[in-house]
Amino acid sequence: MAYQKKTKHPDQQNGNVLFLVLIAVALFAALSYAVTQSGRGSGSVDKEQVLLQAAQITQHAAMIQSTVQRMILSGTAPENISFLDAPDPGYGGGYGHTVPRPDSDKVFNPAGGGLTYTPPDTAWLDSSFSANLDYADWIFPNDICVNELPVSEPTCTPSQREMLVRLNYVTREICLAINTGLGLSNPGGEPPVDSGNSGGAALWKNTPATNPYFHLGDNLGGIMDGQHNGCLRLSGGSYLYFHVFYAR
């Protein structure tokens, strides 16, 4: 069925964007409370810094999400959303669609989403991975399914892969703080380990693909099932934050 462009009333669009902003504010408040409570006593300054960094990551991802949602509400088909003006992480795929999209479909373009790409602060990241091609980049992959969002392993098809952003190599402390603020478990005081995933190369353009998919959360005992965002440890030893913009 052909996608039919729908026009939303401006008040409805603004209401949806405001709702997403309020979610980000609520998340910041939850993170503030959680880390402040855990930071009483020695080391509280360092923990408050981790809190701030965790909030910056989640709020930036929420800002991109609100832009994507606004574009979809304005009539851009989800499969046409383009992240073309974000830096290519170097794996050769880039973010270009097979059929190039107009500027109005691009998140990081004045004629589209209007955002300016801002790279992650390296203070958020584990510098031992700084030589990797995808270090200090927001990544917009096309190959990830989050378990039970809404489908589960092994039924996720290319057209059901999520539209999301991932930030690789966040520090362990930030990963813990993000999960605490989201009300997710950190088993034994550590971020959950997604042992089936090492976080290797993939095609990064945000269009449905036929490459094998990267399935988040299918072996975590339900911790990440149906989650739109969270942080986990990959089997390669790095920590990954993900934030789903649109569950297909």
pLDDT, residue 12, reads 47
Count Cα neighbours of 145 within 13 Å in the Cβ-side half-sphere: 24
Report which of residues 54 and 206 the model is more confident about.
Answer: 54
Question: Containing domain of residue 213, as a range?
Answer: 10-246
Is residue 86 domain-resident?
yes
CA nearest 162: which of 176, 174, 148?
A: 148
Q: How confident is the model at residue 6 (pLDDT cuts 50, 70, 90)?
A: very low
More confident position, 12 or 127: 127
13: pLDDT confidence band, cut at 50, 70 and 90? very low
User: Is 3 within the bounds of a domain?
Assistant: no
With respect to residue 5, please indicate whether it lies within any of the assigned structural domains: no
Largest CA-CA distance found in the chain, in angstroms, rounded: 60
Q: What is the pLDDT of residue 219?
A: 53
Decide: helix, strand or coil at residue 139: strand
Q: Identify whether 53 is part of a domain.
A: yes
Report yes or no: 209 and 248 within 8 Å, Cβ to Cβ. Answer: no
- DSSP calls for 187-245: GGGSPPEETT--------SSS---SPPEEETTTSTTTTTT-SEEEEEETTS-EEEEEEE
Cβ atoms 203, 209 nearer than 8 A: yes
Task: Calculate mean pLDDT across residues 166-187.
Answer: 93
- 151 lies in a domain? yes
- Decide if 161 is inside a domain: yes
pLDDT, residue 220, reads 58
Q: Would residue 1 count as lying in a domain?
A: no
What lies within 8 Å, CB to CB, of 75 at 6+ separation is 5, 6, 7, 8
Whether residue 134 lies inside any domain: the answer is yes
Q: In the predicted model, is pLDDT for residue 92 greater than 60?
A: no
- Where is average pLDDT lowest: 39-53, 150-164, 185-199? 150-164
Percent of the chain residues topping a pLDDT of 90? 37
For residue 141, say if its preceding peptide bond is cis, omega within 30 degrees of 0: no
Mean pLDDT of the chain: 76
Predicted model pTM: 0.76
Domain count along the chain: 1
